[in-house]
Amino acid sequence: MNSPPKCGSRSIPEIKTTTQQSLVKTPMSDPHTIDSELLQKLVYDALVWSSLHGLVVGDRNVQRSGSTPGVGLVHAPIALLPNSFPESHWNQACELAPIFNELVDRVSLDGKFLQDTLSRTKKVDAFTSRLLDIHSRMLQIGKKEDIRLGLHRSDYMLDENTNLLLQIELNTISCSFSGLSCLVSDLHRSLLSQYNKHLGVESGRIPTNNSASKFAEVLAKAWKEYNNPSAVVMVVVQPEERNMYDQHWLGTTLTEKYPFPLINTHNVRTIRKTLAEIDAHGKTLSDGTLVVDSETVAVIYFRAGYAPTDYPSESEWKARLLMEESSAIKCPSISYHLTGTKKVQQELAKPNVLERFLENKDDIAKLRACFAGLWSLDDSNAVKNAIEQPGGFVMKPQREGGGNNIYGDEVKETLVRLQKEGSEEEAAYILMQRIFPKVFPTLLVREGICYKEEAISELGVFSAYLRNNEKVIINDQCGYLMRTKVSSSNEGGVAAGFAVLDSLYLT
Ligand code: ADP
Ligand code: MG
Ligand code: MG
């Protein structure tokens, strides 16, 4: 069998066929033309596979599905078959990962840049303001993070008109689906092999996706750097989480001793705590050691804490500060978190700003080539253009998790209102060029039902960065997440209910 191309190491191997000729780059054919008998079989097999392999989420129709594991599971929303994606753009996205990792690290060290960039936003956005307060406090006490860990995901869309791969955003906190997305690639590979004769496509064209094992491996390496065998990795979670299995995949990979393959045995214990629990049961010792429920915490892995709703009271903010002040390794630190804000993304896209952080001109050119148009709302020309042609823009506040952006006529209405009011609220937003990916026919499966849809895709590349002082231990891409959504939907979140998990079929 052909070894699939990898996304998870810096060098990207050539794809070879068994005959050593270059594979014919046949795109996936229109799945809407698959006859109904075959389609039924494919859906049935996909549903069985997902249930048996843990490609599952909590069912929104079952009340306890977000709090009690094993209760109310449903298969994750998926594309039935992978969708075509150009190999050259996929390679480009993989190549960008270590450069973005380095950029995040450099920017995070420039406290003044972060504070200055977000200073106007701070006045009008209470949530960003609280994050900045914690960051200021760390600057004041001269807090240094020697061991720095980033588990990021950079998201892209391929703009149809220009054929450019353009970055949507860079996520530095709580990047979801590293646990499940690798399973989707496995599922698609399994279906393509099984139905090879009927579908006429090659499962080897789905890139290897080791997202869960790679992230677990990096968390284990960070834990090792902390150098306390009895310490744990603490996953910070929301009290209710229907996407818990995505997270449990990482925790289990860290902890469980598999008989095979032995290489996966990290033997690192994990605990899961909400911010409120950390406030109630956590403390720091005089040397900065973080202890929660009498467990010493080596690594804090945030899968919560990115949204205002994660902080319903002062208790959650106290927990965030306690963790930041501690000597535990934070994934992410407050600086890494702020570096991932949309405002910082927009600032970095301004002329000569990347040059402040990176020396290598090739790297800078590569990053710049994937930047879409990004503007601050104090750019009157950009605002004027967006009012005239709102469909060409997206307005974004400093929020994560999907469902927060403004599109279409609402862009115009909001901009006109802000202009009239002359309010400072404009500093809460950035303006971004709207990207229009190619629309293609696809099959989306939700709650056991297959829908024929016209859709668009967004490619996310997971990446990890771990360093201890001057030593960079890991700087790598770690697999991918393909999300596909009906073309009429603006937003793309899977958890938010807009998109499904997909994988890519390289053409
Ligand atoms: P979040 O941090 O909430 O995920 P994003 O910037 O990723 O915010 O926006 C959410 C979704 O909105 C994306 O997944 C994508 O589907 C859509 N989107 C964001 N920016 C653009 C853009 N410039 N062009 C087209 N769609 C976009
Ligand atoms: Mg985001
Ligand atoms: Mg996003």
The pick from 158, 394, 430, 498 for probing ligand 1's pocket by mutation, whose C-beta has the most ligand atoms within 8 angstroms, reads: 394
* pLDDT attached to residue 257: 63
Q: Is the peptide bond before 261 cis (omega within 30 degrees of 0)?
A: yes
Average pLDDT value for residue range 51-68: 97
Q: Is 65 helix (H, G, I), strand (E, B) or coil?
A: helix
DSSP 363-401: HHHHHHHTPPPEEETT-HHHHHHHHH-GGGEEEEES--S
**Cβ-based neighbours of 55, under 8 Å, separated by 6 or more:** 49, 75, 76, 78, 180, 183, 184, 187
Ligand nearest to the CA of 431: 1
* pLDDT attached to residue 498: 73
How far is 90 from 331, CA to CA, in rounded Å? Answer: 26
Average pLDDT value for residue range 9-17: 39
Torsional sign, CA 126, 66, 482, 209: positive
Q: 115 CA to middle of ligand 3, Å?
A: 23
Give residue-wise pLDDT tens across range 413-464.
Answer: 999 999 999 889 999 999 999 999 999 999 999 999 999 999 999 999 999 9
Residue 401: CB within 6 Å of ligand 1? yes
Query: Which ligand 1 atom sits nearest the alpha carbon of residue 396?
Result: 6
* Annotated domain spans of the chain: 6-117+145-372+441-506, 373-434
Residue-averaged pLDDT of the chain: 93
Q: 400 CA to middle of ligand 2, Å?
A: 4
* Structure confidence at residue 494 as a pLDDT band (50, 70, 90): confident
Query: Is the model's pLDDT at 18 over the cut of 50?
Result: no
Q: Select from 505, 502, 462 the least CA-distant residue to 176.
A: 462
Q: What percent of the chain has pLDDT over 70?
A: 93
Q: 92 CA to middle of ligand 1, Å?
A: 20
The whole model's pTM is what? 0.94
Give residue-wise pLDDT tens across range 192-243.
Answer: 999 999 999 999 999 999 999 999 999 999 999 999 999 999 999 999 999 9
How far is 406 from 427, CA to CA, in rounded Å? Answer: 15
Q: Is the peptide bond before 98 cis (omega within 30 degrees of 0)?
A: no
Cβ neighbours, 10 Å, residue 57:
24
Measured distance between the N- and C-terminal CA atoms of the chain, rounded to whole angstroms: 18
Residue 110: CB within 6 Å of ligand 1? no
* pLDDT attached to residue 17: 36
Query: Is the model's pLDDT at 497 over the cut of 70?
Result: no
* pLDDT attached to residue 356: 98
Give residue-wise pLDDT tens across range 82-141.
Answer: 999 999 999 999 999 999 999 999 999 999 999 999 999 999 999 999 999 999 999 999
Residue 432: CB within 6 Å of ligand 1? yes
* Structure confidence at residue 15 as a pLDDT band (50, 70, 90): very low
Would strands 449-468 and 295-302 be described as parallel, antiparallel, or unpaired? unpaired
Q: Which two tokens stand for residue 178?
A: 């590293």
Q: What are phi and psi of 482, to 5 degrees?
A: -105, 130
Q: Give how far Cα 418 sits from Cα of 343, 378, 387, 421, 426, Å.
A: 18, 11, 12, 5, 6
Q: 288 CA to middle of ligand 3, Å?
A: 34
As annotated, the active-site residues are 153, 169, 171, 176, 342, 396, 400-401, 483
For atom 22 of ligand 1, the residue with the nearest CA is 434
Average pLDDT value for residue range 10-32: 56
Residue 73: CB within 6 Å of ligand 1? no
Give residue-wise pLDDT tens across range 173-198.
Answer: 999 999 999 999 999 999 999 999 99
Q: Give how far Cα 425 sits from Cα of 118, 348, 378, Å.
A: 13, 21, 11
Give residue-wise pLDDT tens across range 302-351.
Answer: 999 999 999 999 999 999 999 999 999 999 999 999 999 999 999 999 99
Residue 155: CB within 6 Å of ligand 1? yes
Rounded to 10 degrees, what is the CA torsion of 85, 86, 88, 89? -50
* pLDDT attached to residue 235: 98
For atom 13 of ligand 1, the residue with the nearest CA is 492
Query: Is the model's pLDDT at 403 over the cut of 80?
Result: yes
Average pLDDT value for residue range 390-406: 96
Give residue-wise pLDDT tens across range 261-293.
Answer: 555 578 899 999 999 999 999 999 999 999 999
In this predicted model, which residue has the larger pLDDT, 257 or 369?
369
* Structure confidence at residue 2 as a pLDDT band (50, 70, 90): very low
b or e along 62-79 (b: 16 or more beta carbons within 10 Å of the residue's beta carbon)? Answer: eeebbeeeeebbbbbbbb
Query: Is the model's pLDDT at 8 over the cut of 80?
Result: no
Which secondary-structure segment (H or E) carries 134?
helix 126-140
Q: 491 CA to middle of ligand 1, Å?
A: 6
For atom 14 of ligand 1, the residue with the nearest CA is 492
Q: What are phi and psi of 372, to 5 degrees?
A: -80, 175
Tell me the CATH number of domain 373-434, given options 3.30.1490.50, 1.10.10.10, 3.40.720.10, 3.40.630.30: 3.30.1490.50
* pLDDT attached to residue 265: 78
